[in-house]
């Protein structure tokens, strides 16, 4: 049973976590449908509805990633509710700035960086748990290396299969298949990225005394998934344009290859409880697909801006979270 008085007392902090989930919706969830919109296989409105439904379905596919975030990054016994609030504050600030410039950011990296910065400010190095951080570093390798090379080799295999097909047939067949690959991508996003804020939300409930142990309830899944879907519908178009149209020009078979490569990588990570960046994964998959046509096919200026935003995510979110905790301590004497 939930402790409702404690829940009401925690409500400002929980709303802050949901604000970060909302930002996640408008900056990260659009990655799942960027390519299917850019190839004009689906209209943006229809793609957003599909992404919302399948993101929700994906969040019910397991809780391994949520457990890593909630129990494996920082020690719950050494932190307080202000630590969690400070951690998500970094995401809200940084991701909103990046969204304004149309840059996709990794809320995954923002969340773990924020937890690290806030945990260090609260309890020092003892607050960090190495087991969870090992999975974070593995996730970086998954999203950066596997995303690129699986996308590259997947497109090479497709080009061999369709080498004697008429261009119109390729476009028609893969236009239909891309709806399935986009659905798979949205589902996989929910199974990994959708779980992260569920983990943070549940960790806040445990620290705040609302529930005695780390257990993710159905109402938490529905609440977080719903807020993420709302964020996607409100502000997702800027990120769709950056990934789907500005990074490289994609045809239907190329969009299918990028989505299948990214979704397969993400699903593997989800089953292993590895939190990774869906932004990195789909971006590197698109780069891998574009590289098959030649290095000039990738707009490296746009790529540099995206990579720059990735590199800044860890230090900026960590610093904002750390500074927020220090400021709170100073205010409270």
Residue 316 three-state SS: helix
Q: Are 190 and 65 in contact (CB under 8 A)?
A: no
pLDDT of 105 over the 80 cut: no
Question: Beta partners for 305?
Answer: none
- Residue 333's CB: how many other CB atoms inside 10 A? 4
Domain total in the chain: 1
Of the pLDDT bands very low, low, confident and very high (cuts 50, 70, 90), residue 333 is: low
Maximum Cα–Cα distance across the chain: 74
Q: What are the phi and psi torsion angles at 128 (to 5°)?
A: -90, 140
pLDDT for residue 241 is more than 80: no
Q: Do residues 189 and 58 lie in contact, with contact meaning Cβ atoms separated by under 8 Å?
A: yes
Band of residue 251 on the pLDDT scale cut at 50, 70, 90: confident
Which domain range does residue 123 map to? 4-331
Round to whole Å and give the CA distance between 38 and 34: 6
pLDDT-derived band of residue 229, with 50, 70 and 90 as boundaries? confident
pLDDT of residue 110: 92
Q: Residue 200: which of 28, 1, 16 has the closest Cα?
A: 16
Q: Which two tokens stand for residue 166?
A: 């008429």
Higher-scoring residue by pLDDT: 319, 293:
319
The residue written with tokens 């929700």 in the block is 56
Q: How far apart are CA 67 and CA 298, in angstroms?
A: 37
Instruction: Check pLDDT > 90 for residue 98.
Output: no
| Rg, Å, the chain Cα set | 20
Residue 53's pLDDT is what? Answer: 84
What distance in Å separates the CA atoms of residue 149 and residue 285, rounded to the nearest whole number?
A: 7
Q: Which residues pair with 74 in a beta bridge?
A: 128
CA–CA gap between residue 171 and residue 218 (Å, rounded): 41
- 180: number of Cβ within 10 Å: 13
How far is it, in rounded angstroms, from Cα 36 to Cα 213? 41
Closest CA to 208 of 1, 63, 11: 11
Average pLDDT over residues 166-193: 91
- How many angstroms separate the Cα of 183 from the Cα of each of 27, 202, 251, 254? 18, 27, 17, 16
In this prediction, residue 145 carries a pLDDT of: 87
Q: Which of 186, 177, 222, 178 is nearest to 201 (CA)?
A: 222
Residues 78-95 have a mean pLDDT of 91
């Amino acid at each position: 049973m939930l402790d409702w008085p404690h829940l009401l007392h925690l409500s400002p902090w929980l709303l802050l976590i949901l604000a970060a989930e909302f930002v996640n919706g408008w900056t990260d969830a659009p990655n799942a449908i960027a390519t299917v919109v850019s190839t004009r296989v689906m209209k943006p409105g229809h793609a957003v509805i599909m992404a919302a439904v399948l993101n929700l379905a994906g969040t019910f596919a397991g809780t391994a990633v949520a457990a890593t975030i909630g129990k494996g990054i920082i020690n719950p016994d050494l932190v307080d509710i202000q630590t969690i609030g400070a951690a998500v504050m970094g995401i809200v600030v940084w991701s909103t700035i990046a969204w304004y410039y149309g840059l996709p950011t990794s809320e995954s990296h923002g969340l773990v960086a924020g937890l690290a910065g806030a945990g260090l400010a609260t309890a020092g190095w003892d607050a960090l748990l190495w087991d969870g951080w090992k999975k974070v570093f593995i996730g970086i390798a998954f999203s950066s290396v596997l995303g690129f090379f699986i996308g590259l080799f997947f497109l090479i295999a497709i080009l061999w299969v369709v080498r004697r097909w008429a261009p119109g047939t390729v476009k028609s067949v893969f236009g239909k298949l891309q709806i399935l690959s986009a659905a798979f991508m949205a589902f996989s996003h929910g199974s990994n990225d959708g779980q992260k804020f569920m983990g943070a939300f549940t960790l806040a409930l445990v620290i705040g005394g609302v529930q005695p142990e780390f257990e993710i309830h159905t109402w938490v899944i529905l609440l977080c998934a719903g807020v993420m879907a709302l964020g996607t519908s409100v502000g997702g178009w800027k990120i769709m344009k950056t990934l789907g149209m500005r990074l490289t020009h994609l045809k239907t078979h190329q969009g299918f290859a990028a989505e299948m490569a990214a979704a397969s990588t993400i699903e593997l990570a989800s089953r292993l409880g590895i939190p990774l960046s869906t932004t990195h994964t789909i971006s590197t998959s698109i780069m891998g697909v574009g590289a098959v046509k030649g290095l000039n096919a990738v707009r490296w200026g746009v790529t540099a801006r995206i990579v720059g935003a990735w590199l800044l995510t860890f230090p900026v979110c960590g610093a904002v979270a750390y500074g927020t905790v220090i400021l709170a301590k100073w205010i409270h004497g």
